[in-house]
Structure 1
């Protein structure tokens, strides 16, 4: 691994995942706040690694590969745990995780053809909202009165953005990627 601060922050995000999963699936006083704190730390590393890489010109091929994988592992792990705790329905997790698999698979196919697919605005909005909604859902009934309803509403918005942003990727780039191979 190219040892620079952004890549180490990405690695820290991945290393947070097993502990976060254990905390979410455990039952102890303070579990919700502990899970929230670990998730906040993990998502903070996502913000910091990109900022640092750009600011200090430490963008690496490895970092460009690992950062989105770390994001997807974090989101998928938390979503699956929230299904287990009953905070999210399984079919909702299928939409959220299915979108990530579809877009990532599409990007892999594109990369194998020499086509780079950048992160699009809607995808970034989806990720930002998804992070906030998952944090709210991790807090569960610890959310202040009147704000707990934001989790389920936000989850519907995340699912809608997941579908729409995936469609945007496929519509904008399918002509460059899904072309017939020459015979």
Structure 2
């Protein structure tokens, strides 16, 4: 275990804490959950930075880091969908989670084909991630039906639109492989 992998593991351990605090009958839960989520987002950036800077990249980290990210985001979105009961927020959340499933499967398949670089993280993907993290932070830190919550909802919808765009970019890059005869022999 190295520092980046410990940070990734801490992010996983933050998930049940986030869920428990979110459901506590305590007014401070909103801000506390937003802070927990922000710390998770910071550790996500920090573990990647440290892994590269300290030359501590590992197979475990390469696998576990994106899993930790997707778990934290998906579970936070499930909590928000349950609390907000808003069809647009639900649709935006479904788009974000659905895209993660599609792109994860696409990356795995492309890696098997030796073409993983064709679906590398793009600028649009990074912008999408930033927008969704900001939206979730705002939504976790706000009571439903407040001005802040409506801002968070708008940011999440923008993130969902960027999510669709980034999925299109990834699928377009992978399309030649998806349609090639050699790829379809399996």
TM-score by length of 1: 0.89
Question: 1: distance between equivalents of 2:9 and 2:62?
Answer: 13
Unaligned runs of 5+ in 1: none
Contact 2:139 2:148 in 1 (8 A): no
Matching residue within 77, 80, 83 for 1:79: 77
1:102 matched residue in structure 2? 102
Match runs of 1:31-180 below 5 Å: 31-86=29-84, 88-89=86-87, 90-116=90-116, 117-141=119-143, 147-180=148-181
What is the aligned residue count? 179
Task: Summarize the Cα distance change of 1:78–1:87 in structure 2 as closer, same or farther, 3 Å threshold.
Answer: farther
CA distance in structure 1 between the aligned counterparts of 2:180 and 2:13, rounded to whole angstroms: 39
SS in 1 for 2:121: coil
Whether the aligned pair in 2 keeps the contact of 1:23 and 1:35 (CA below 8 Å) is yes
Distance 1:84 1:163 in 2: 23
Distance 2:36 2:115 in 1: 35
Is this contact kept in 2: 1:95–1:162, CA < 8 A? yes
Measure, in 2, the Cα distance between the counterparts of 1:122 and 1:132.
15
The whole-number CA distance in structure 1 between the counterparts of 2:15 and 2:180 is: 38
Return the alpha-carbon distance in structure 1 between the equivalents of residues 86 and 51 of structure 2: 34
The alignment partner of 1:59 has SS state of coil
For the 8 Å contact 1:13–1:45, the answer to whether it is kept is yes
Deviation at 1:180, TM superposition (A): 2.3
Indicate the RMSD between aligned Cα atoms, in angstroms.
2.0
Query: In the alignment, is the contact (CA less than 8 A) between 1:79 and 1:88 conserved in 2?
Result: no
Q: Is the helix fraction higher in 1 or 2?
A: 2
User: Matches of 1:155 and 1:88 in 2, distance apart?
Assistant: 12
Q: Which runs of 5+ in 2 are unaligned?
A: none
Distance 1:101 1:63 in 2: 19
Name the SS for the 2:141 alignment partner: helix
Q: CA deviation at 1:179?
A: 2.5
Separation of aligned partners in 1, 2:8 and 2:85: 27
